[in-house]
Amino acid sequence: MKFSIGLITIDKDAQVAVYLQITNSIIGHIRQGTLKPASPLPSSRLLAAALKVHRKTVVAAYDELYAQSWVDVYARKGFFVAKNLPDVSPRPINSTLKRNPYPIKTYFDVTEKVPYPDLFNDDKPGLLTFDDGFPDTRVAPVELLVREYRRFANYHFTQKYLTYGPEQGSANLRTELARFLGETRGLQVSADDILVTKGAQMAIYLAAQILLSKHDVVIAADPGYPGANEVFEQTGAKLKLVPVDEHGINLDSVEEICRQKKVKLVYVIPHHHRPTTVTLSADRRMRLLELAHKYRFAIIEDDYDYDFHYASSPILPLASADYYGSVIYVGSFCKTVAPGIRIGFMVAPANLIVQATRLRKMIDRQGEHLLEEAIANLLKNGDIGRHLKKANKLYHERRDILCALLKEHLGSWLSFKKPDGGFAVWVKYADGINPAYVAEKASAMGLTINNGRDYFYHNTGTHPYVRIGFASLNPRELEAGVKILAGVFKKLNPKSPEV
């Protein structure tokens, strides 16, 4: 910008020296961006004449600016705003305004449209944690992922991965995913049938936003996954809950609701249902597909931890036997690799993938291209498969260790069924024991454990259940956690009112 003499004003009656007034005025305009780096300043003679001050006053001002590194001086050219400006602290828009803390509330109205589900207990720093069921990030294949990033750094075509890519996700990743899903889950899909998302949660959200309108009926299990329930209700849909037993969701209840109302969507976690860890039986899977065809509802099949089985071969997903296009299959690598690696996917018929891709673009132009390419290479090289074998063996051992510890030290106070897979054990406390009270006392003794309040849709009353995650803790930590829990129970009298 060309310098304007009018930018500088001085007051010869002020207590501040005139040369400092000139200095501060120019610095102020540089800070505000009015004067850009490397832009020329007027000569001392010209500026002195315009301000009606002695030339020595302007020279003194320029000397001060030079001393503070605000200007550069070039022989026979003059003074210029410095190309490399000194570090400066931001200043208020109006220095006369009182500097208050940032507002905690908007001046305009904001409707509380988005509820806050209490999905997980916040881990307290320094405490041992029985989490909801997460993998151990200490055994995540981070070195393999970093290896792929380094490999990209040496490729001459890496630049193309640093610009915009396909909204549907990396073509390489979708191709490798299609192969991986075919080999592990029996899904006969192509890259075009897959949308890459940031975790399964985004896939559930996209499907719900596309399929559901106000007052539509959605069926889900209770106890179930509140993260999905909140998404469905956010659309204005009406949630209808059905019970869960040792074979999965109750399909008699599902069909009864279908006879009475037009059902738009059924949400199901067929493997290791959250929170109860049960697996939907093969006959119920086939019946659910028949009901979907008969009553024309969609199924969201959330297979978030399909890859982790310990007792037997898993039953193939509903999507593998879906011949009518009823199933939207969602999953992720957040459990396979680490929760912080936000790579999920949606598999669905083409018309829905197109709509989901367009909606995803409105929320988030695309995923992380480099990360997607790196995961694609890990799949292609077989690194993900090898990691899964190691992780399954490790988590299988930890499941057995925790179950043995629970029986040995806590058998009088709780009961459970050893899960076939997943990352957690679904535990029922003995009559009279309040999970919230146990969580409070355990926290005081150094252990974080769920308070049992977030599993059932209605939080009224006391449900004697908690999920105890085992995958993220090594044997020594599992033993320490169980000992703390045993110490809590030994202090409890189940007949006491406070319990």
Report the b/e string of 88-118 with b at 16+ CB within 10 A.
eeeeeeeeeeeeeeeeeeeeeeeeeeeeeee
Cβ–Cβ contacts within 10 Å for residue 190, how many?
A: 12
What angle in degrees, to the nearest 10, is found between the helix axes of 55-67 and 44-51?
120
pTM (2 d.p.)? 0.77
Amino acid at 88: V
Q: Which of 46-55, 196-205, 421-430 has the lowest mean pLDDT?
A: 46-55
What's the first-to-final CA gap in the chain, in angstroms? 74
**pLDDT per residue as tens digits for the range 206-246:** 999 999 999 999 999 999 999 999 999 999 999 999 999 99
Tally of CA atoms within 13 A in the half-sphere of 493 that contains its CB: 4
- Residues 123, 293: Cα–Cα separation, whole Å: 43
The per-residue pLDDT for 495 is 47
Q: Is the pLDDT of residue 413 over 70?
A: yes
Complete DSSP assignment for 418-429: --SBSSEEEEEE
**pLDDT per residue as tens digits for the range 425-456:** 999 999 889 999 999 999 999 999 999 888 99
The per-residue pLDDT for 316 is 92
436 contact partners, CB below 8 Å, separation of at least 6: 451, 452, 453, 462
Q: Is the pLDDT of residue 332 over 50?
A: yes
Complete DSSP assignment for 51-65: HTS-HHHHHHHHHHH
The per-residue pLDDT for 86 is 73
| Peptide linkage before 275 cis (omega within 30 of 0) | yes
| 128-134+386-490 has CATH 3.30.470.10 classification | no
**What residue spans define the domains of the chain?**
5-81, 128-134+386-490, 140-381
- Residues 37, 33: Cα–Cα separation, whole Å: 9
What kind of architecture, by CATH, is found in domain 5-81?
A: Orthogonal Bundle (1.10)
Please name the residue ranges forming H helices in 35-132: 44-51, 55-67
- Residues 144, 153: Cα–Cα separation, whole Å: 14
Complete DSSP assignment for 169-212: --HHHHHHHHHHHHHHH-----GGGEEEESHHHHHHHHHHHHH-
Amino acid at 319: A
Closest CA to 137 of 339, 283, 300: 339
- The fold of the 140-381 domain, in CATH, is Aspartate Aminotransferase; domain 2 (3.40.640)
The pLDDT of 460-481, averaged and rounded, is 91
Query: What would the two tokens of residue 343 be?
Result: 């790579």
117 in Cβ contact with 230 (< 8 Å): yes
- Residues 184, 382: Cα–Cα separation, whole Å: 13
For residue 294, is it left (φ>0), alpha (ψ between -120 and 50) or beta? alpha
6 in Cβ contact with 47 (< 8 Å): no
The DSSP symbol for 162 reads G
The pLDDT of 354-370, averaged and rounded, is 85
- Residues 16, 367: Cα–Cα separation, whole Å: 56
Amino acid at 155: Y
- Residues 296, 459: Cα–Cα separation, whole Å: 32
Closest CA to 53 of 4, 2, 7, 8: 8
Residue 126 Cα distances to 27, 31, 97, 448, angstroms: 48, 44, 43, 10
Mean pLDDT of the chain: 86
Confidence tier at 390 by pLDDT (50, 70, 90) = very high
Per the listing, tokens 């809590």 go with 488
Confidence tier at 496 by pLDDT (50, 70, 90) = very low
Q: Is the pLDDT of residue 465 over 50?
A: yes
241 in Cβ contact with 234 (< 8 Å): no
The per-residue pLDDT for 462 is 74
Strand 217-221: give its sheet, edge to edge.
194-197, 344-347, 327-332, 298-302, 263-268, 217-221, 238-242
